[in-house]
């Protein structure tokens, strides 16, 4: 009971606090954007590493206004924190992962994409290994035929936390590079391992 109450308080307070910290960091940093403007008029699958999720909303919101992004968040406690943080940015959460609730995530993701929304997910989430590629991005891309967009945030000077995803936040007044590249497509008949290798290669193109 006490743990549930404590978690409830944390879930209400921490995402809001983190949101304002991120806004402050963004204001102090020298932000450089490399965004494919063709994405403004199309639905896409946003693929981003788990350790770079904190600052990525600023890239999406520079490209598209409104709440057209649905982000996959795990059913774990840290996924709940992420979902609440996404809400602060005006995004929506799809709860689940490729390991738990994967079918539900796939169905909801397909529904969102067909409705013209964008879907974001981390190939290496929610628990890694670091910069690995799970099945989720491939399954969504092959089922829908919709393009995958590599989304990266590269920090020139950052705080790197001792977590499996090497979670990063920029140091104040440092330079941050935001990338959202032209979409690439995964053929429906491509073998799973080959498709995952393609995603890994594309994710490393601006690293």
Q: Which tens digit of pLDDT belongs to each residue from 148-170?
A: 999 999 999 999 999 999 999 99
Q: What is the pLDDT of residues 125-153, one digit of tens each?
A: 788 899 999 999 999 999 999 999 999 99
d(CA 82, CA 20): 14
Q: Which residues is 126 bridged to in the sheet? A: none
What is the pTM assigned to this prediction? 0.92
- What is the model's pLDDT at position 16? 93
- What is the model's pLDDT at position 2? 42
Better-predicted residue by pLDDT, 36 or 82: 36
Weakest mean pLDDT among 27-31, 67-71, 172-176: 67-71
In sequence order, the 6+-apart residues with CB closer than 8 A to the CB of 204 are none
Helices (H) and strands (E) in the chain, counts: 6, 9
Q: What is the pLDDT of residues 169-184, one digit of tens each?
A: 999 999 999 999 999 9
Type and span of the H or E element at 73:
strand 69-73
Backbone CA torsion sign across 88, 123, 201, 40: negative
Cβ 54 vs Cβ 178: under 8 Å: no
Q: What is the pLDDT of residues 113-123, one digit of tens each?
A: 999 999 999 99
- What is the model's pLDDT at position 58? 97
- Quick check: helix, strand or coil at residue 39? helix
């Amino acid at each position: 009971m006490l743990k549930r109450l404590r978690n409830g308080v944390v879930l209400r307070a921490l995402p809001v606090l983190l949101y304002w910290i991120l806004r402050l960091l963004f204001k102090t940093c020298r932000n450089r954007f490399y965004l494919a403007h063709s994405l403004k008029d199309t639905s896409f699958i946003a693929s981003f590493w788990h350790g770079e999720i904190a600052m990525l909303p600023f890239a999406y919101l520079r490209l598209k206004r409104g709440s057209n992004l649905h982000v996959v968040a795990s059913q774990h406690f840290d996924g709940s924190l992420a979902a609440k943080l996404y809400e602060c940015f005006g995004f929506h959460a799809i709860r689940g992962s490729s390991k738990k609730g994967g079918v539900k995530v796939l169905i909801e993701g397909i529904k969102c994409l067909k409705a013209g929304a964008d879907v974001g997910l981390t190939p290496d989430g929610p628990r890694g290994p670091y910069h690995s590629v799970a099945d989720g991005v491939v399954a969504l891309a092959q089922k829908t035929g919709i393009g995958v967009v590599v989304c990266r945030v590269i920090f020139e000077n950052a705080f790197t936390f001792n977590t499996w995803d090497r979670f990063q936040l920029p140091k104040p007044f440092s330079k941050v590079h935001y990338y959202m590249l032209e979409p690439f497509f995964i053929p429906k008949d491509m073998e799973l391992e080959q498709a995952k290798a393609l995603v890994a290669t594309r994710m490393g193109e601006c690293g």
